[in-house]
Amino acid sequence: MKRVGATGDEIVEALIANSSTFGKKIVFSQKYKLKKQKKYAPNVLIPHPSAQSICETYFKKSPAHIGFVRVDTLSLLLPMVNISAYSDVLVVDMVGGLVVGAVAEHLGGTGYVCSTCLGSAPSTIDIIRMYNLSSDMVSRIVLVPLSAPCSMQSSGNSPSVVDSSAEGPGDDRTCWR
């Protein structure tokens, strides 16, 4: 039946229909059906990605991509910086977006995350895609080179708002309020 393309449930129902002793068993001892369901109709559970699972996966597959940051280091980092709801957080992330994604996940879409980098071009934060964050949470992540706030401070401008040239294309958000 597998070769024909029958589903796992169809195979189990056909096996039960052809079994002469299945109907004679009481409800609690019908383990036969469970065994056959496990064999022919397996269930696949895909967990929601979290900072822990993403960090563990990257540490096993490509630890250099995340700067050899282990799960215990990341789990100690988040409580130490005292991030709470409605916080505006400045993050210098050099590990591919692992810390930015963890902070955004921790905030839950209530505050802003300003991701900065050393140099003029923002570093890649590809790992944020793995977090499967909602569009509201992603819209609260702002990418700004570290030179933009520093140049504003040296020129005497107010450091409360980042000018539009320092932000990404189409962004009209602020980093600090």
- Do 34 and 76 share a domain, yes or no? no
Asked if residue 35 has pLDDT above 50, the reply is: yes
- Do 105 and 35 share a domain, yes or no? no
- Do 36 and 75 share a domain, yes or no? no
How high is the mean pLDDT of the chain?
78
Helix, strand, coil % in the chain, rounded to nearest 5: 45, 10, 45
- Do 146 and 76 share a domain, yes or no? yes
Q: Would 54 be classed as within a structural domain?
A: no
- Structural domains counted in the chain: 2
* Tens of pLDDT, residues 96-141: 899 999 999 999 999 999 998 877 666 788 899 999 999 999 999 9
Q: Would 3 be classed as within a structural domain?
A: no
Distance, in Å, from the CA atom of 116 to the CA atom of 96, rounded to the nearest integer, reads: 12
Asked if residue 42 has pLDDT above 80, the reply is: no
- Do 74 and 150 share a domain, yes or no? yes
Confidence of residue 23 (pLDDT cuts 50, 70, 90): low
Q: Would 31 be classed as within a structural domain?
A: yes
- Do 144 and 87 share a domain, yes or no? yes
Domain of 101 in residue numbering reads as 70-155
Q: Would 59 be classed as within a structural domain?
A: no
Q: Would 115 be classed as within a structural domain?
A: yes
Mean pLDDT for 78-103 is 91
- Do 138 and 81 share a domain, yes or no? yes
Least confident of 22-26, 53-57, 159-163: 159-163
Distance, in Å, from the CA atom of 27 to the CA atom of 22, rounded to the nearest integer, reads: 10
- Do 84 and 125 share a domain, yes or no? yes
The torsion angles phi and psi of 95, rounded to 5 degrees, stand at: -120, 35
Q: Would 171 be classed as within a structural domain?
A: no
Distance, in Å, from the CA atom of 118 to the CA atom of 146, rounded to the nearest integer, reads: 6
- In one-letter notation, the amino acid at residue 106 is H
Q: What is the pLDDT of residue 154?
A: 60
Q: Would 49 be classed as within a structural domain?
A: no
Q: Would 93 be classed as within a structural domain?
A: yes
Distance, in Å, from the CA atom of 13 to the CA atom of 136, rounded to the nearest integer, reads: 45
Q: What is the pLDDT of residue 37?
A: 72
Question: CB within 8 A of 139, min separation 6: which ones?
Answer: 173
Question: CB within 8 A of 53, min separation 6: which ones?
Answer: 47
- Do 144 and 81 share a domain, yes or no? yes
